[in-house]
Amino acid sequence: MEYAPEAISHLAQQVTQVFKAALERRLVSSTTAVTIAEVEKEMRELLRQMGAQALSQFLSSGAGTPTTELPCKCGGTLHYQRRRAARVTSVFGRITYERAYYAGCECGKGHAPVDEQYGLVPGAVTAGLAALLGLGGIELSFDESRDWLKAFLLFEVSENTIRSETQALGAVQEEREAKVCQQSQNLDYLQARWREKTPLPTRLYGSLDAAKVRIEPRAKEGKKSENTEAWRDMKVGCWYQAEPVPPVQRSTRQRDKYAREQAVFRAKNMHYYCSIQEADAFGKLMWGIGCQVKADLVPELVFVCDGAVWIWNLVKLHYPHAVQIVDWYHAADRLERVAQTAFSALSDRTLWLERVTADLWAGRVTPVIQACEHLASHCEEARQAVTYFTNNAARMKYDQFRAAGYLIGSGTVESGCKQIVTQRLKKPGAQWEVDGAVQTAKARAAWLSGEWDAVCAQRAALSLAV
C-alpha cells in the first residue's frame, strides 16, 4: 500500500510532540542522559501502543448499520444481537475490539463477520503474529524464543503459545506435503507437468540422511510412563541444484578446496522435507515432493548420500536410473576411522591413510578394499570397511564423477539435517513428542526451502475456514 507523504509527515510531527513531552517529564526525575538506544526503544514502544489502538479501531470500525439477519452455515438464520467485544493478540500486543455479533440460530453457533473476514479467533493470536512467533520457534527452543521475541515485539508471549503456533505452521506444511503426495499418484497431474513452460534443470540432485531425536516416552493408559529415553530417526531429504562458486566469492576454505579438488560447488534452490517414518512411508514423501520438483522428468538425476542401506533401497525403488554417489566425506572418513583403529604409530597411520585416500579419490576401489582386507584379521573397523567399500564400489567411481562435474559431497542435505535436527531438535534437555518434533521440523524445513510465506499465507486462510 502507499501512504501520502504529507499524512505520514503530519502523524510523525504529532508523535514527536507526544514523545518529547514524555521525555521531558522523564528528564525531570532522572539525572542520567538519554541515549539514542533508549530513544529508539521508547519511540518503538509508543508506536506499538499506537499500532494496538489503530488496529483495535480498525477492527471496530465496521461500516454502517449491521443487517438484522444473516444466513448461517448450517442453513438456518442468524440474528443480529449487539456489538460484542473480543480480544486477540496481534503484532502490537493484546487488543480488544468491538464487532457486530450474530446468534440465535437453531445450531446454537454464534458468528462475527469481522472475525471471519480476517481469520480472527477470539482469545488466539492473529495470523500476522503467528508468522513471527513461528520464526522464533523454528530457530530457538520455545523457552529461549520467548525472550528473543520479546526483544523484537516489546511484549511477552508464552512459551506454550510459541510452541503451538510454530507447530501449527508445521501442520500446514504437513498438509501441503500430503496434498503433493496425493497429486503424485494422479496420472493426469503427472502428465500435465510436461506441458508446463518452466524450464527443467538439466541436472538435479537428491540427498537423504537421518538423525536421532529424543522422544518423550508416552504414558501407557493407567500406567505411569517408564522413564526410558526413546530415540527415533528423523529422516531428512533434500532436492537441490548445484552451481560452481565464482572465484571472487570463494571463502578461504573453498579456495583451499579448489586448490585440492579443482572444483567448488554450492547448492541452490534447496527443497527440504523430513519426517519420523519408516523408510517405505518416507519413500512416498520423497516421491511426492520429487514430482513437485520434477525429479522424475529432469534429464539427469544424481543422488549423493551416505552409505546407509535404507537410502539406496529407496533410490533404487523410486529412481532406478539415477546416478548414485556415496558422499565423498563419508567414504574418506571411513578410511580415517580404520587408520585410527588399526595403527598405533602415527607415521604408519599417515602413510597408509594417504595411499588409500589417493586410491579412493582416483576411483580405484579394489586396492582400497584390499588394503582394508590386510588389516581385517586384527581390526573390526577394517572388517566392516571391507563390506562397506565392497557394497558401495559402484557408487565410488570418484574419478568418473569428478570428470562429469558432479558434486560428490552431500554437504547440502547434511547441513540441512544438522540445521533441522541437530540445531533445533537436539538442544540440551530437549524432549519431544513425535508430532511436535515432526511439525517443528517441517516448519523449519519450510523456512529453509523458501516456502515460509506460502505456509503462513495458507495458515491465515485456514483460520478463515474455521
| Interactions with Zn ion, residue window 139-178 (CB under 5 A) | none
Using the minimum distance from each CB to Zn ion, give the nearer residue, 77 or 182.
77
CB of 147 to Zn ion, least distance (A): 44
Rule CB under 5 A: is residue 112 a binding residue for Zn ion? no
Using the minimum distance from each CB to Zn ion, give the nearer residue, 107 or 457.
107
Which of the stretches 104-112, 227-235, 257-265, 339-347 binds Zn ion when contact is defined by CB under 5 A? 104-112
Which of the stretches 97-105, 150-158, 414-422, 443-451 binds Zn ion when contact is defined by CB under 5 A? 97-105
Amino acid at 10: H
Residue 122 C-alpha from the chain's centroid: 28
| Among 107, 121, 219, 394, contact with Zn ion (rule: CB under 5 A) | 107
Using the minimum distance from each CB to Zn ion, give the nearer residue, 105 or 360.
105
Rule CB under 5 A: is residue 450 a binding residue for Zn ion? no
Rule CB under 5 A: is residue 105 a binding residue for Zn ion? yes
Using the minimum distance from each CB to Zn ion, give the nearer residue, 105 or 172.
105
Rounded to whole angstroms, the Cα distance separating 349 from 332 reads 14
CB of 229 to Zn ion, least distance (A): 49
| Interactions with Zn ion, residue window 277-336 (CB under 5 A) | none
Using the minimum distance from each CB to Zn ion, give the nearer residue, 113 or 363.
113
CB of 299 to Zn ion, least distance (A): 56
Using the minimum distance from each CB to Zn ion, give the nearer residue, 113 or 367.
113
**Is the separation of the CB atoms in 458 and 443 below 8 Å?**
no
Total number of residues that touch Zn ion (CB under 5 A): 5
CB of 109 to Zn ion, least distance (A): 5
CB of 74 to Zn ion, least distance (A): 3
CB of 107 to Zn ion, least distance (A): 3
| Among 16, 27, 76, 394, contact with Zn ion (rule: CB under 5 A) | 76
CB of 102 to Zn ion, least distance (A): 10
Rounded to whole angstroms, the Cα distance separating 325 from 319 reads 13
Helix axes 127-137, 434-448, angle to 10 degrees: 100
Rule CB under 5 A: is residue 79 a binding residue for Zn ion? no
CB of 63 to Zn ion, least distance (A): 24
Which of the stretches 27-35, 61-69, 100-108, 244-252 binds Zn ion when contact is defined by CB under 5 A? 100-108
Rule CB under 5 A: is residue 71 a binding residue for Zn ion? no
CB of 75 to Zn ion, least distance (A): 7
| Residues binding Zn ion (CB under 5 A) | 72, 74, 76, 105, 107
